Chains A and B, each alone.
Chain A
């Protein structure tokens, strides 16, 4: 019964996340940027922009310039999350890909980094006056949600172990549209439930910073306005 419910939940969450993100990305892609507004100094070539964007995505370059504490906590969280996510491929692949095996030990400890980063970011929301001022309930809840996902996951790894073989059977089944039995284990049910919630709210929350970064004109535009005329379709209409 609960297995069916969770199966449906994950199908729904996946569809909402994928379709929601696709719609948002389509919207960003189709909305024209009428003017050249890269924050300068900016690269003068497409390749340079790819590098600039890579530095933002891989190193959080601008955040590093801005504030070392936010950078440290944010980086710990994001890198931790990335490794943890990659490690989770083991529940969706059979046999497990070699590189997933390779990062397995790092992935486990990355959860500590992830949780520590989240805790630091959350602490700042209480302790730094300026950030307390700009925080909405949703900003706290988002951190609570991510923290609860991390902690429930760690509980299963380090405290009350769950039957991960059964979990894997469940998810491999979902990928073939079969509903197998999910272990009735509280930390697991909490963990999966919260992950589904995160997937559902992804396209309608500030998690849109993920696709948003790639569409940010101040970062993704080439500084070549004198050499190449840039004209938005609606602006071209004005010239007729």
Chain B
């Protein structure tokens, strides 16, 4: 037993599952070789980056560190301020899952900080051995690539740092440096290039999008007996819905989209999806590129102007809501052409919650009685945004909506929810198959917390409001003893429970949905 370590208690594994935040022994180098696929020139170039590793990469990378430090106060201050107190060392889900010490937030930051010190500080220039400064070499560059693509930029470490140092900021900067020298990551850069080309991550063209939406309208009519619309490119609609393209494609995402449609229908508002800005996600954030993030955001502005809408509402997507809530006004504002009586932009949960408060929605909660629910706070929503007027609304509003549509709701361990929520393990541009080992290990804290409420309260399903979380969980849950469809969209539960005016309420409706 290690003395003076308050967490040694957590090292005693209790039962088969163990504490969700149990601290592993260090496993040096455990994840050193995990390398996500590199982007091809065709992925890098449309983003304004060199196709392949450039010859003078070293000089360019060092200069880029200086440039970013002069353009971003967070990066500059966070490089300087760390005292290595260790408060963050047990806060990263990837460290908890892998034991690799370079997945401890401070150690991840140090991969870059050590090089910053070598070239930009008095101590590092003159006494590198003293302050852990090191030269930039090809090995260091490769190490950056591997370990900065093992950070989901979830900001959990930042909550616990006495100076608020946010590893996400360092990781975004590191990825931008890598991109600048031609070492982009395939998953992110291919997707950003697709958004610029087609309008969404998926590459879903307008014709296919229209066909999908029409197909879903048929399903809705079959289910409810009334016409519930999923309008596309309708000029003059009041609301532009910006939702992750996964909502047009994957399960359980699509069920959430049907939920939004029903809520809009019940609220009696006119709304539309845009085929030009058919994506809420903005992977420009993951790669730390202001310019790319801005370009993707401007598509939303243009779509809103072209369609003449009055409001913008975002669907369930975690990092997209961070970009929307925290950055959209900066990147693509000012939105003076929209109706100033509503939040710009607004989250679909804020919309639904407001309608529930107004009493415009009819629910039969018993339709969700087959589920015993818990809720996973998505990291970017929890720690990088807000809903409603008050701080913490991002925790209360989704729970209020869930409790309005479900009879059985239970929270997970308090150290794993709300501002302390543990990431799903697939965020920040890591939702790619070659990182499945990391994704599974990174999901283990969340999965253990889920197993606890399953044992204690018989919880069967977990709701989420992020496209990445939903996909990630449906892939990793089977590895932890759950069915892949144990993760649900929040608006899927809304959709199950809502009763629209004129809707057929035969008892078999909910079965037909399954």
Give chain A's interface residues, CB within 8 Å of chain B. 24, 27-28, 31-37, 39-44, 56, 60, 62-63, 65-70, 74, 120-121, 123-124, 127-131, 133-139, 141, 201, 204-206, 208-209, 212-213, 215-219, 223, 225-226, 228-232, 234-235, 238
CB distance from A70 to the nearest CB of B (A): 5
A20's nearest neighbour on chain B, judged by CB, is: B122
Given known contacts A31-B71, A35-B326, A123 and B26 CB-to-CB distance under 8 angstroms: no
Asked if A37 and B326 sit within 8 Å, CB to CB, the answer is yes
Asked if A33 and B130 sit within 8 Å, CB to CB, the answer is no
Interface size on B, residues (CB 8 A): 78
Q: Using a CB-CB cutoff of 8 Å, which residues 392-447 of chain B contact chain A?
A: 392, 394-395, 419
Asked if B330 and A70 sit within 8 Å, CB to CB, the answer is no
Nearest 5 Cβ contacts at the A-B interface: A212-B81, A41-B391, A66-B160, A218-B164, A136-B132
Asked if A216 and B81 sit within 8 Å, CB to CB, the answer is yes
Instruction: List B contacts of A213 (CB < 8 A).
Output: 81, 162-164
- In the complex, 20 of the A-B residue pairs with CB atoms within 8 angstroms, ordered by the A residue number, are A27-B76, A28-B77, A31-B73, A32-B71, A34-B71, A35-B330, A36-B330, A37-B169, A39-B158, A41-B394, A56-B162, A62-B162, A63-B160, A66-B88, A67-B160, A127-B4, A131-B84, A216-B77, A219-B163, A219-B164
Q: Using a CB-CB cutoff of 8 Å, which residues 32-86 of chain B contact chain A?
A: 69-74, 76-78, 80-86
Asked if B73 and A28 sit within 8 Å, CB to CB, the answer is yes
Given known contacts A216-B164, A218-B166, A231-B330, A223 and B391 CB-to-CB distance under 8 angstroms: yes
Instruction: List A contacts of B329 (CB < 8 A).
Output: 225-226, 228-230
Instruction: List B contacts of A217 (CB < 8 A).
Output: 73-74, 77, 164
Q: What's the Cα separation between A13 and B290 when bound, in Å?
A: 41
Asked if B123 and A205 sit within 8 Å, CB to CB, the answer is yes
Asked if B327 and A35 sit within 8 Å, CB to CB, the answer is yes
Sample of 18 more A-B contacts, CB < 8 Å, known A67-B7, A123-B4, A209-B82? A33-B73, A34-B330, A37-B166, A40-B383, A40-B385, A40-B394, A63-B160, A67-B86, A124-B5, A129-B25, A131-B86, A136-B84, A218-B165, A218-B166, A223-B391, A225-B329, A226-B325, A235-B294
Instruction: List B contacts of A216 (CB < 8 A).
Output: 74, 77-78, 81, 163-165
Asked if A39 and B166 sit within 8 Å, CB to CB, the answer is yes
Q: Which of B26, B86, B104, B391 has the most CB of A within 10 A?
A: B86
Q: Using a CB-CB cutoff of 8 Å, which residues 103-135 of chain B contact chain A?
A: 104, 106-107, 110, 121-123, 129-132
**Which listed residue (A39, A134, A205) contacts B89, Cβ 8 A?**
A134
Give chain B's interface residues, CB within 8 Å of chain A. 2-7, 23, 25-26, 69-74, 76-78, 80-91, 101, 104, 106-107, 110, 121-123, 129-132, 155, 158-166, 169, 290-291, 294, 325-327, 329-330, 333-334, 343-345, 382-386, 389-392, 394-395, 419
A209's nearest neighbour on chain B, judged by CB, is: B81
Q: What's the Cα separation between A232 and B290 when bound, in Å?
A: 11
Instruction: List B contacts of A234 (CB < 8 A).
Output: 71
**Which listed residue (B69, B85, B89, B343) contacts A74, Cβ 8 A?**
B85
Given known contacts A41-B392, A213-B162, A128 and B2 CB-to-CB distance under 8 angstroms: yes
CB distance from A58 to the nearest CB of B (A): 12
Instruction: List A contacts of B90 (CB < 8 A).
Output: 67, 130
Given known contacts A37-B166, A130-B101, A138 and B130 CB-to-CB distance under 8 angstroms: yes
**Which listed residue (B23, B72, B81, B132) contacts A33, Cβ 8 A?**
B72
Given known contacts A216-B81, A225-B327, A234-B71, A39 and B383 CB-to-CB distance under 8 angstroms: yes
Given known contacts A36-B327, A63-B162, A129-B2, A206 and B74 CB-to-CB distance under 8 angstroms: no
Asked if B163 and A136 sit within 8 Å, CB to CB, the answer is no
Q: What's the Cα separation between A120 and B4 when bound, in Å?
A: 8
Q: What's the Cα separation between A56 and B159 when bound, in Å?
A: 12
Asked if A133 and B101 sit within 8 Å, CB to CB, the answer is yes
